[in-house]
Amino acid sequence: MARQYLTVTALNRYLKFKFDNDTELQSVLLKAEISNFKRHSRGHLYLTLKDDQSQISAVMFVSSTKNLSFNPKDGDKVIVEGYISIYEAYGTYQIYIQKMDLDGIGDLYLAYEKLKEELSKKGYFDQSHKKSLPRFPKTVGVITSPTGAAVRDIINVINTRFPMTKIIVYPALVQGPMAKESIASQIKKANEDLLCDLLIVGRGGGSIEDLWAFNEMVVIDAIYGSKLPIISAIGHETDFTISDFVSDFRASTPSHAAEIAVKNHREVRNDIIKIEQRMTMALNNLYDNALKHYRQIINRNVLKNPLRLLETKELKYAALYDRLLKNNPLNQIKQRNDLVEQYLKNLRKDYQYLVSAKQKNYLSLVEKLELVNPLNIMKKGFAIVKQDGAIKKHFKEISRDKPLTIAITGGEITSKIIDMKGEENE
Amino acid sequence: MNKLSFEENLEKLEALVKKLESGENSLDEAVKLYQEGIALAKICHEELKNAEEVIVKLMDSDNLVDFNKE
């Protein structure tokens, strides 16, 4: 049976496949010591992990180094978490480190990690739960050892920065088995007293065991439940306790906590001066603008020459008045008067015509009348005989006994009838 | 009695003059319109005169004064 020969590449690829598919190798926790530590220019870390009998090469990519809480160096005892894989080109296997911490804390550290993760899930560290810090706390409560350097630092810094701030120290044991209860009860007491606007809870630097009280649940709960905002100031800059995560603000040191708690009075004074200047400037601007506005307004033509207001009205009025006068009904009256005169003239003319016609007629009548005028007839030798005032035209109308009046040209004669002789054939 | 504003009176006068100008009125109407027109014109004139007097008085007494800071 012929045996099959592999290429090196194929072998390495096969081994890599085997490694990568072994779940045990994909999550490895290792306790070791660092040697051959090298930092690549791109930020990757190359190192060897060893114990007294064996070693393994290791790499930590720059993306994983962000959460590194210490500066690794040769000889450091560390605990690492990572996966094993093969680098095909060299046929070497190595551990790809995802997480690395200093060892020496052993079980404490693991307990810390576990609790931290648990509380994080429960929302103890949520940003939404954090209270904002007062800008100018009147009274700051300090919960720490009354004899340590921390309390002195805090008092010094506060007195230098903002001397008006009152400080109440709530003395607490900050290490040892009694510490956690002591710290927790003082936080609660400060919350009951309500004498402070802000609490600083902390202590100076020490080993992780020294700081351990601040990883205890009773302290964490007291901080979480505090109505007063809390600045944690535990150990040095590189020390992180769970109290730091649950507090409203984490200060790297007690002095730092005091700096966060109160502002520097000089800066505050400068701020006030700046605000004053801004206020004055704002007011001046306001005044300037108002003045400018006022000037613009009073320089408007209508205020300079208020009589112009009237001018257009006056013009309109004058035009109307002219039109009114032009339409004076006198013209109309004159027109009508003329008309009446005309009519009158015509009437007069007509009348005269009528009168003259009548007159002509009359004269002709008079002429005719003249012809029959009895006086004229009498002038020819005729007389009129009357009896009892009435003209008698016939013999028979005359009675013998009554006087007879004879009208003749020149007068009347009254006579007595002497004889009467009528005509025979009558 | 006449509580109308100057403009209202002027408007009335204008309407009246227009009507008078139309020449379609009887003499009676024309005389009445003219009478009314003269009365309105008098009111307008009075108001103009009053306004002018007020303004002149104000200009004399309360001259608008420019002023400076300080």
- Longest CA pairwise span in chain A (Å): 228
Mean confidence (pLDDT) of chain A: 89
For the entire predicted model, the pTM comes to 0.45
Nearest Cα of chain A lies from the Cα of B24 at a distance, in angstroms, of 11
Select the residue of B6, B13, B27 nearest A336 (Cβ to Cβ). Answer: B27
Q: Average the pLDDT over each of A96-110, A189-203, A332-346, A377-391 and give the range with the smallest value.
A: A96-110
A53's tokens:
């009998």
- Please report, for chain A, how many H helices and E strands are present, in that order: 13, 14
Residue A49 has pLDDT above 80, yes or no: yes
pLDDT tens, position by position, A237-248: 777 899 999 999
List the domain boundaries for chain B.
6-60
B6 close to A (CB below 8 A): yes
Please give the CATH topology (third level) of the domain spanning B6-60.
Answer: Helix Hairpins (1.10.287)
- Higher-pLDDT residue of A155, B10: A155
Nearest Cα of chain A lies from the Cα of B52 at a distance, in angstroms, of 7
Percent of chain A exceeding pLDDT 90 equals 48
Q: Which of B20, B25, B28, B69 to mutate to test the interface with A (most CBs of A within 10 A)?
A: B20
Residue B70: per-residue pLDDT: 40
At residue B33 the predicted structure's pLDDT band, cuts being 50, 70 and 90, is: confident
Residues B47-60 have a mean pLDDT of: 82
Residue A223 has pLDDT above 90, yes or no: yes
B69 close to A (CB below 8 A): yes
B39 close to A (CB below 8 A): no
Residue A108 has pLDDT above 80, yes or no: no
Amino acid at A309: L
Residues A124-130 have a mean pLDDT of: 93
Select the residue of A307, A323, A329 nearest B31 (Cβ to Cβ). Answer: A329
DSSP letter at A63 equals T
Phi-psi map region of A140: left, alpha, beta (phi>0 left; psi -120 to 50 alpha): beta
B12 close to A (CB below 8 A): no
Q: Average the pLDDT over each of A266-270, A274-278, A347-351 and give the range with the smallest value.
A: A347-351
Residue A355: per-residue pLDDT: 86
DSSP string, A292-326: HHHHHHHTSHHHHSTTHHHHHHHHHHHHHHHHHHH
Residue A425: per-residue pLDDT: 58
Residues of chain B with Cβ-Cβ distance to A306 below 8 Å are 55, 58-59
Select the residue of B37, B44, B64 nearest A303 (Cβ to Cβ). Answer: B64
- The closest of A265, A266, A260, A268 to A132, measured between CA atoms, is A260
CA distance A208 to A104: 10
Residue A69: per-residue pLDDT: 75
Block residue for tokens 């009998």: A53
Buried b (16+ CB within 10 A) or exposed e, A390-403: eebeeeeeeeeeee
- Asked whether the beta carbons of residue B34 and residue A314 sit closer than 8 angstroms, the reply is no
Q: Average the pLDDT over each of A93-107, A301-315, A397-411 and give the range with the smallest value.
A: A301-315
Residue B14 has pLDDT above 50, yes or no: yes
Residue A122 has pLDDT above 90, yes or no: yes
Question: The complex's ipTM?
Answer: 0.73
Residues of chain B with Cβ-Cβ distance to A298 below 8 Å are 64, 66
Residues A224-246 have a mean pLDDT of: 91
The count of CB pairs under 8 A between chains A and B is 62
- Asked whether the beta carbons of residue B41 and residue A324 sit closer than 8 angstroms, the reply is yes
Angle among Cα A378, A383, A384 to the nearest 5 degrees reads: 110
Residue A391 has pLDDT above 90, yes or no: no
pLDDT tens, position by position, A147-160: 989 999 999 999 99
* Coil, helix or strand at residue A268: helix
At residue B56 the predicted structure's pLDDT band, cuts being 50, 70 and 90, is: confident
Cα Rg of chain A, angstroms: 73
Residue B7 has pLDDT above 90, yes or no: no
Residue ranges of chain A whose CB lies within 8 Å of a chain B CB: 287, 291, 295, 298, 303, 306-307, 309-310, 313-314, 316-317, 320-321, 323-324, 327-329, 332-333, 336
Residues of chain A with Cβ-Cβ distance to B37 below 8 Å are 324
- Asked whether the beta carbons of residue A291 and residue B52 sit closer than 8 angstroms, the reply is no
Phi-psi map region of A379: left, alpha, beta (phi>0 left; psi -120 to 50 alpha): alpha
- Asked whether the beta carbons of residue A313 and residue B38 sit closer than 8 angstroms, the reply is no
- Asked whether the beta carbons of residue A317 and residue B55 sit closer than 8 angstroms, the reply is no
**Among positive and negative, which fits the CA dihedral B60, B64, B68, B70?**
positive
Residues of chain A with Cβ-Cβ distance to B10 below 8 Å are 313, 316-317, 320
- Asked whether the beta carbons of residue B58 and residue A324 sit closer than 8 angstroms, the reply is no
- Asked whether the beta carbons of residue A320 and residue B52 sit closer than 8 angstroms, the reply is no
Residue A107 has pLDDT above 70, yes or no: no
Residue B63: per-residue pLDDT: 56
Spacing of C-alpha A393 from chain mean position: 134
Residue A201 has pLDDT above 90, yes or no: yes
Percent of chain A exceeding pLDDT 70 equals 98
Residue B67: per-residue pLDDT: 53
Residue A138 has pLDDT above 60, yes or no: yes
pLDDT tens, position by position, A156-180: 999 999 999 999 999 999 988 899 9
- On the 0-12 / 13-18 / 19+ scale of CB atoms within 10 A, A268 is middle
Residue A328: per-residue pLDDT: 83
Residue A293: per-residue pLDDT: 87
Residue A105 has pLDDT above 70, yes or no: no
At residue B69 the predicted structure's pLDDT band, cuts being 50, 70 and 90, is: very low
Residues A223-239 have a mean pLDDT of: 91
Residues B21-47 have a mean pLDDT of: 86
Select the residue of B27, B38, B59 nearest A306 (Cβ to Cβ). Answer: B59
